Amino acid sequence: MITPRDRLDILDVQNLYGHVLDRGLWDRLGQVFAADGIFDPSDVGLPPMIGMEEIRRKLIPLEERNPKRCHHSTNVIFLETAPASARVLSKYICNHATGIISYGEYEDDMIRTDAGWRIARRQTRRRALGRGEANAKFAIDWDALLANAPPPQPLREAPALGLSVEDRLALLDLQNLCGHVLDRGLWDRIGEIFAADGVFDPSNVGLPPMTGLAEIREKLIPLEDGAGPTRCHHSTNAVILAADGDRATMLSKYLCSAGPAAISYGEYEDECVRTAEGWRIARRKTFRRAAGVEIAGAPFTIEWDGLLANAPPRPALAAPPAPLPLSAEDRLDIEALLALYGHVFDRHWPERLDEVFTADGVFDPSSVGLTVVRGLNAFRDKFFHVAPGVTPGEGRAHHTTNVTILTATDTTARLLSKYVVRHHSAAVAFGEYEDDLVRTERGWRIARRKTYRRALGLDDGKSDRFSVDADGRLATA
């Protein structure tokens, strides 16, 4: 068995990969792959790269061609574990230089080395390309690409963090809660994110820095509420780059939908501080990497006087919540449960549905026009029916982000999370799951899940409701 610390270390490797590629942190590539590791992207037409030297020689110039690249990792689950090895399955969303968005999976064989957990073999599997493009393969002129490549930087070892498992979980919770506060208007909880003298700096997208919790509340509340109910902030790839006692430096990614065609991708750089109430963000700086067609990478233009003049009164800040009566193992199991849901759908694993829902579990997708489903048999019939001419799971990608435990007892938990779903029809939806969980003899399971859609993405030009066949089954499942 692997420990909660092992699980967090493996999650860090999964999340760090995207930052190494996007930020060009090539001196950290040895913190991701083993010295004799293999990276195999043959599914998208690229040859396997064997050993750290070849991975660095080819991957660096390949990625550096695209300054707008943004690799998001989600839905990390463990397929097999042993004391010194693990098989891990995760999902990716990748924004390419051309504006094409691809969705897929990473299958990783991981090993414990003297330096920590590393990827011994990574296999990529693309599930879909956005906007309805064909499942094209990459065509690379390797001679030309490698001829102009700069020499790789020396590798450096990972810094020692010196944080407990509980500290690391609390810092991840901070990242996940932020999106729900912004999207759900949980403004009484913003004091659980920023320190009293915290700074929020979105100057990279044309907005002025906001200093102190009072100014953050004054400006951020009408700014986000003005974006309307379609806004959806997803946080992914949270990693702790450095830590020193009561301070920590974090890097994470965001995927933000502000409407049907306004999707932006970027990063948060956070300086976090331990306060008497828990970990808080002392300074957040945003960096946009790419944006959808309506934004076109342009800075925001805000008429602040008008915006603030019409702002509603700010709600009082809520008292910090009581600590959750859950162990680190419980919290990681719950995160893995919600991640497994997406793989069960996309890999067409109806036989594993009982690892996600209770036998009498309820799934309520009525907000998107589907009927409430009760029980595993009904669930399998409605959502795992394969329409004629459709390969099971083809073109689908269910990504879960921002898993936040709202309340819990020893045997129950109420959760809020977000989803990005790319459907077989090429429609991309953004929304939330509200889950009631129970602890069973086999582990945590979802007793009731309710979905809420916030927006439809670029690929959908049809109805905002799903179509069902004469038997009430999802037609494109």
SS3 89: strand
Does an H or E element contain 197, and which? strand 194-201
In-domain check, residue 314: no
pLDDT above 80 for 131: no
Q: Are 232 and 402 in contact (CB under 8 A)?
A: no
The arithmetic mean of pLDDT across residues 239-265, rounded, is 85
Q: Which of 385, 419, 388, 390 is nearest to 402 (CA)?
A: 419
Q: What values do phi and psi take at 188, rounded to 5?
A: -70, -10
Q: Please list the residues that pair with 53 across neighbouring strands.
A: none
Looking at residue 121, which CATH number applies to its domain? 3.10.450.50
Q: How far apart are CA 477 and CA 365, in angstroms?
A: 14
Q: Is the dihedral of CA 108, 443, 75, 345 positive or negative?
A: positive
Strands laid side by side in the 278-291 sheet: 210-211, 194-201, 278-291, 263-275, 247-257, 232-244
Last residue of a domain, one of 277, 309, 341: 309
CA dihedral 342, 339, 37, 83 (to 10 degrees): -140
Residue for token digits 């969980």?
437
> Are 134 and 22 in a shared domain?
yes
Average pLDDT over residues 66-82: 91
Q: Is residue 317 part of a domain?
A: no
Whether the Cβ atoms of residue 95 and residue 69 lie closer than 8 Å to each other: yes
296 and 201 in a common domain? yes
For the stretch 18-62, pLDDT in tens is 999 999 899 999 999 999 999 999 988 889 999 999 999 988 888
Q: Assess if residue 473 is contained within a domain.
A: no
Last residue of a domain, one of 147, 176, 196: 147
pLDDT in tens, 393-404: 566 789 999 999
Buried b (16+ CB within 10 A) or exposed e, 296-307: eeeeeebeeeee
Of the pLDDT bands very low, low, confident and very high (cuts 50, 70, 90), residue 102 is: confident
**301 plus 332 within the same structural domain:** no
Check whether residue 292 and residue 169 sit in a common domain. yes
Is the same domain home to 169 and 290?
yes
Q: What is the pLDDT of residues 316-355, one digit of tens each?
A: 877 878 888 999 999 999 999 999 999 998 999 999 999 9
- Between CA 155 and CA 161, with CA 30 as vertex, the angle to 5 degrees is 90
Q: How confident is the model at residue 118 (pLDDT cuts 50, 70, 90)?
A: very high
DSSP-assigned letters across all residues of 308-352: HHTPPPPPPPPPPPPPPS--HHHHHHHHHHHHHHHHHHHTT-GGG
pLDDT at 132: 43
Whether 202 is covered by a domain: the verdict is yes
- For residue 452, how many C-alpha atoms fall within 13 Å in the half-sphere facing its CB? 15
Q: Which domain holds residue 141?
A: 4-147
How much of the chain, in percent, has pLDDT values that exceed 70?
84
At 137, the pLDDT band (50, 70, 90 cuts) reads low
Same-domain pairing of 58 and 110: yes
Please give the tally of structural domains in the chain. Answer: 3
Q: What is the pTM of this model?
A: 0.89
Residues 295 and 338 in one domain: no
301 with 173, same domain? yes
Do 295 and 192 belong to one domain? yes
